[in-house]
Amino acid sequence: MVGLTSVLLLVGAASLAAAAPTELNIRQSGASTTSPPWYPAPKGGTAASWATAYAKAQALVLQMTLLEKVNITTGTGWAMGPCVGNTGPVPRLGFPSLCLHDGPLGVRFADKITSWPAGITIGGTWNKELFHARGVGLGSEFRAKGVHIALGPAMGPLGRMPAAGRNWEGFGSDPYLQGIASAEHIKGIQSQGVVATAKHYIANEQEHFRQGPGAISSNIDDRTLHEVYLWPFQDSVKAGVGAVMCSYNRVNNSAACQNSYLQNGILKDELGFQGFIMSDWLAQMSGVASVLAGMDMTMPGDGLLRTFGQN
């Protein structure tokens, strides 16, 4: 009887394997894990709510030289200023060095600041008013410390990997919850005159093997991308977020910070994002290719490795 049972189980397993969808086999083989090209980058200033900001920016940028334009979109290097990210100024036009600083839980490397509850903790309350109030509190402390761009809130990782090292920065594994919590935090932070940053775009679901040219690739079909991982970023764009940070990992075998489909196609075209995309720190894998693919600012400005002022 045992022998007959084993034979039946083997036959059943073979039948299931034969009936498996070919699409799944193709996906597992990696044959479909590519991102289609999307060029050129859509022009900004198409949303009425951003018209005034774009008019002011255009009037200023028209007066800049090419070097000055590069200066304000490139970091000066790790530990080369008061913040974790600092851009070059344009003194003759009165444009300051921009201060970009961590993080989702409060002001990093600073004294006399609040250690706020972790995102996963406050996410468990499902309380919109509390999300907004926490955003206002974060924004006010960033503003008081002279920060122009707060590097948060975090909505990626979403939490696919339970042991992922930064799940606690976000608000939970439910895309809808992440979206609402992120949007309310963005509104709160930006009400204090500080630009919020939606990060990490996108599918940055683990810390192991996350960096460098050989970084892990998050291979995702289009429906899953839209219905799960993109959802919080959609709500962030609708809330008027000023910045998005592209992530370390690759997505469908293309580095997130030079993935034209994700940056030009989905974020800037489909979602109508009007702000700027910055790289995560040392996440830019190329020069011109990243710019053409939609990345607007490189951080912290060292290249592929931190040079601590020696670049």
Residues recognised as catalytic: 280
Report which of 299, 104, 279, 84 is spatially closest to residue 189, judged by C-alpha positions: 104
Phi-psi sector, 193: left (phi>0), alpha (psi -120 to 50), beta: left
Exposed, middle or buried by CB within 10 Å (0-12, 13-18, 19+), for 157?
A: buried
Give the angle subtended at the CA of 300 by the CAs of 297 and 303, to the nearest 5°: 90
Nearest to 203 by CA among 163, 248, 263: 248
CA 121 – CA 142 distance, rounded (Å) = 21
DSSP result, 135-168 = HHHHHHHHHHTT-SEE---B--S-SSSTT-TTGG
Strand order in the sheet with 149-150: 85-86, 99-101, 149-150
